[in-house]
Amino acid sequence: MRITVGEGSCGVAAGATEIYSLLEQGIKAFGIDCMLTVTGCIGMCYLEPIVNVTLSDGQLATYVRVSAEAVGEILKLLCNEENNAEQYLIAQQDQENLDAQQRIALQNCGIIDPENIDEYLDAQGYQAIKKCITELTPEQVIDEMQASGLGGRGGAGFPTWFKWQSARGSEGDKKYMICNADEGDPGAFMDRAVIEGDPHQLIEGIMIGAYAIGSDEGIVYVRAEYPLAIVRLELAIIQARERGILGENIFGTDFCFDLAIKAGAGAFVCGEETALIASLEGERGMPRLKPPYPAQKGFLKLPSNINNVETFANVPWIIRNGGSAFAAIGTEDSKGTKVFALTGKIAKGGLAEVPMGTTIREIVYGVGGGIRGGKAFKAVQMGGPSGGCIPAKLIDTMIDYRSLAATGAIMGSGGMVIMDESTCMVDMARFFIEFTCNESCGKCTHCRIGNRRMLEILERICNGEGQDGDIELLSALAEQVKDGSLCGLGQTSPNPVLTTLRYFRNEYEDHIYNKKCTARQCKPLLTYTVIDDLCIGCNLCAKRCPSGAITGELKKPYIIDNEKCIQCGKCAEVCKFAAVAVD
Amino acid sequence: MGCNCSENKKWECSDSSIDIALLEPELAKHAGSPINLIKVLQKAQELYGYLPLDLIVYISSALGVKPAKALGVVTFYTQFKTKPVGKHLILLCRGTACHVNGASGIEEAVSEYLGVSEGDITPNGLFSYNNVACLGCCSLSPVMMIDNKAYGNLTKDSAVKILKEIEMREASLCG
Ligand SMILES: Cc1cc2nc3c(=O)[nH]c(=O)nc-3n(C[C@H](O)[C@H](O)[C@H](O)COP(=O)(O)O)c2cc1C
Ligand code: FES
């Protein structure tokens, strides 16, 4: 019998650690004969904490939203006592949503114990690297990658085999294999899930790449905000070294390889490969012009190859199953599967790995279960600060590199932030430009100053001070920043503005000319009024109002003075009778 | 500007709570190796919570980089703090998913409850908070992280409740 508790960062945040210790105590107290382990995130974050029980007959039962009471029932079940554990079982629909996915990068996440190398080995782990170094030449590995059509999952989708070949062809004995685990796009967390849930698969992917380009040293650059990922990866590296899987003469061959972790220090731009290299060298993370590409002059000016976590995580599967099996999945220009992070106003937030070419609708209304609270789907933001907002009318767009580019958004790392009618698109544009302003390294003028000016315009529009001509000015600036910036950060930062202007121009116009925010997000544009019929005159709003704008007599409807009101929204928040109307 | 006799004396930081001996092994390991500047700064911050200016200068000379460059690195990365932080550092996520689900309200509530703004330390030294870009728990947004533990699905009330619980634990520790 085996019990696993999902302890990715998301599971832990939902209380999985407490559930684990309750189970541990119970198992000990009742002398239950079973193995209790942790596992990573299976992707159904909305159901955390999740406990899987595999009974001796191999039957698997998944318990979700497990509480202390649920643990009690599960323990009774394990003791063969009468119990009510059934009510905590996963709903059939949720199980079907999980089964409908096609998992390659996430194949072991949420199933094996990431802290135990044996479980990875039992899941065909390290078979692919063994095959590479004992049976295939590096060229053959690269050929297999070419056949797979795998494109980089870090955002651009650049063919992985091509990068490897170019690094292989670069002159020099010393080469570096670098893994980009900076995952800067806010709203994306697939890389975290892979590292926390299946670190050995990442290590194996990096090793295969290293063998292909002829490198004996690798570095994983992990962002500082992922402490658990760093711990799990450290442990995995130690275990791999102990087994002789990392180190000298791996599997009795000439291949030697070791891996180190470098923790990032909190800078979005360090996800850009040349900035990442600067950061690894102990410098400010400033991008530089390409060429020379990292394949020619990378870390310490030596040939280096940089790939994203999810890219690497696909590699062992490709070697085991063949490039053509991977290429059989997906569309003409986008091969294989892709992991998407569903967040925002979605009913069932989490990770979903589906074939490329799946439509936005299938993801949002299939795995995602539609919009939270049954509201209307308004848009999905894809590609983070470099991406764009795709409106509801394009919900049948296929998710592949070409179709997304046509909408003005990008695939990016696969973050999908879902928005409903209560999301203001001008505010979203403002949010992203503010993000870029904070994260711009300041090296080039257009990115540093152009984004700042765009932010000022967006702020004034959100504050109800938008002027005639602002929309035109924004579009012009956006084009200039796009053209005039050095690295991908500035070149793509106007995308959120351009796509919202393209699809939601009416909202900008409402803000500027009618001084209205239909989503009711931009506070300075709102007016608060008391609904006489609902107000019981309890005085609570008047007490909380920081500007003394609310007056009245007890037990009679109160009045809000719009001249004094500072639109803080406190009155609507504290009113227990929904008697404050916001418009 | 003084004589050289201080060379024999142990270096002391303006912040007397900083025991430089704790960092010496790390400094010795990376002496003269500018490439490890970020790593050493991270170690120092882990030990002391923040990086006072004279400590940055001290580290830079040990590693053989110019002080200005070390300061440039410190100010570039948001992780590095040049002011003391609270015993419990709160990281408030202001990422996209959290923004869409009301992160600004959480910051309002936290800041109002603690009575300080971003980066400042509460009078009792227990808390300070910083906004960060994303904590990777976006499906539980809005999210905050305290002492490496993430708290999800926050509301204004639940965020304040978590802070109160930490305060209570601290109070019981003090007896
Ligand atoms: C501003 C900016 C941020 C980026 N952030 C990331 C990131 O967080 N993670 C990542 O893997 N790639 C990121 N990239 C892309 C990398 O530069 C690089 O293309 C990628 O790591 C290559 O790996 P791949 O070919 O496997 O996708 C970013 C690019 C830019 C311009
Ligand atoms: S956006 Fe807040 S945790 Fe990712």
Closest residue on chain A to B66 (Cα): A283
b/e string for B18-44 if b means 16 or more Cβ within 10 A? Answer: bebeebeebbeebeeebebbbbbbbbb
Confirm whether the ipTM is greater than 0.85. yes
Choosing from A281, A297, A327, the residue where a domain stops is: A327
Q: Are residues B72 and B92 in the same domain?
A: no
Domain count, chain A: 5
The nearest CA of chain B is from the CA of A439 a distance in Å of: 9
* Same domain, yes or no: A225 and A149: yes
Q: How far is CA A318 from CA A106, A330, B52, in A?
A: 14, 14, 50
**A305, A45, A307: which is closest to A157 by C-alpha?**
A307
Considering only CA atoms, which of A88, A81, A95 is closest in space to residue A51?
A88
Do B104 and B59 sit in the same domain of this protein? no
Does residue B20 belong to any structural domain of this protein?
Answer: yes
In chain B, which residues have their Cβ closer than 8 Å to the Cβ of A300? Answer: 35
Q: Residue A498 falls within a domain, yes or no?
A: yes
The pLDDT, as a whole number, for residue B8 is: 56
CATH number at residue A370: 3.10.20.600
Q: What are the average pLDDT values for consecutive 10-residue runs of chain B, which has 175 residues? A: 55 88 96 95 96 96 96 96 94 95 94 95 95 91 92 95 96 82
CATH number of the CATH domain containing A534: 3.30.70.20
Instruction: Give the CATH number, domain containing residue B150.
Output: 3.40.30.10
Question: What is the rounded (10 degree) CA torsion for A294, A295, A297, A299?
Answer: 60
Cross-strand partners of A181: A222
Based on the domain organization, do A368 and A259 belong to the same domain?
no
- Enclosing domain of residue B154: 88-173
Domain membership flag for residue B2: no
Q: How far apart are CA A51 and CA A17, in angstroms?
A: 11
Inter-chain CB proximity A419 and B152 less than 8 Å: no
The answer as to whether A519 is a domain residue is no
Last residue in a domain, options A388, A420, A452:
A420
CB contact residues (below 8 A), chain A span 345-404, against chain B: 345, 349-351, 381, 384
Q: How far is the CA of B97 from the centre of ligand 2 (A)?
A: 5
Residues A228 and A136 in one domain: yes
pLDDT of residue B7: 55
Is B96 in contact with A344 (Cβ distance < 8 A)?
A: yes
Cα dihedral sign, B161-B165-B168-B170: negative
- Find out whether B144 and B163 touch, Cβ atoms under 8 Å: no
Q: Let me know whether A241 and A266 are in one domain.
A: yes
Q: Are A205 and A315 in contact (CB under 8 A)?
A: yes
Residue A281, classified by CB atoms within 10 Å of its CB into exposed (0-12), middle (13-18) or buried (19+), is middle
Q: Confirm if A41 and A8 have CB atoms less than 8 A apart.
A: yes
Give a yes or no: residue A97 inside a domain. Answer: no
Check whether residue A280 and residue A391 sit in a common domain: no
Task: Kindly state whether residue A148 falls inside one of the protein's structural domains.
Answer: yes
Chain A residue with CA closest to B30: the answer is A282
Q: Of all residues in chain A, what percent are helix, strand and coil, respectively (each to 5)?
A: 45, 15, 40
- On the CB side of A350, CA atoms within 13 Å amount to 31
A242 lies in the same domain as A126: yes
Report CA(A347)–ligand 2 centroid distance (Å): 16
Indicate the residue among A308, A327, A346 that finishes a domain: A327
Residue A332 in domain = no
Could A186 and B97 be called an inter-chain contact, meaning their C-beta atoms sit closer than 8 Å? Answer: yes
State whether B94 and B169 are in the same domain.
Answer: yes
Domain-ending residue, one of B76, B100, B120: B76
Residue A533 placed within a domain: yes
Tell whether B117 and B71 lie within a shared domain. Answer: no
Residues A416 and A445 reside in one and the same domain? no
- pLDDT tens, position by position, A317-330: 999 999 999 999 99
- Regarding whether B58 and B123 lie in a shared domain, the answer is no
Residues of A in contact with B37 (CB under 8 A): 282
Q: CA A327 to CA A241: how far, in whole Å?
A: 33
| Residue B13 confidence (pLDDT) | 86
Same domain, B99 and B72: no
Domain count, chain B: 2
**∠ CA A150-A156-A158 to the nearest 5 degrees?**
40
User: CA A386, CA A286: separation in Å to the nearest integer?
Assistant: 17
Query: For the segment A380-401, what is each residue's pLDDT rounded down to a tens digit?
Result: 999 999 999 999 999 999 999 9
Strand residues in A264-312 grouped as ranges (E): 304-308
Residue B7 lies in a domain: no
> Which positions of chain A have pLDDT values less than 70?
none
Distance, in Å, from the CA atom of A267 to the CA atom of A286, rounded to the nearest integer, reads: 10
A68 within a domain of the structure (yes/no): yes
The terminus-to-terminus CA distance of chain A in angstroms comes to 58
* Angle between helix A199-213 and A127-135 (nearest 10): 10
Same domain, B67 and B143: no
User: In terms of domains, do B72 and B94 share one?
Assistant: no
Same domain, A352 and A448: no
- Give me the domain span that covers residue A232: 117-327
A414/A439 same-domain check: no
In a domain, A56, yes or no: yes
* Last-in-domain residue among B76, B105, B120: B76
Rounded to an integer, what distance in angstroms lies between the CA atom of residue B133 and that of residue A268?
8
**Do the chains contact at A349 and B150, CB–CB below 8 Å?**
no
Q: Are residues A408 and A546 in the same domain?
A: no
For residues A404 and A468, membership in a common domain is answered with: no
Distance A160 CA to ligand 1 centre (A): 13
Domain-ending residue, one of B76, B96, B125? B76
Same domain assignment for residues A7 and A145: no
Cβ atoms < 10 Å from Cβ of A444:
19
φ/ψ of residue A325, rounded to 5: -65, -40
Q: What pLDDT score was predicted for residue A156?
A: 86
pLDDT digits (tens, 9 = 90+) for A236-292: 999 999 999 999 999 999 999 999 999 999 999 999 999 999 999 999 999 999 999
pLDDT for res B4: 52
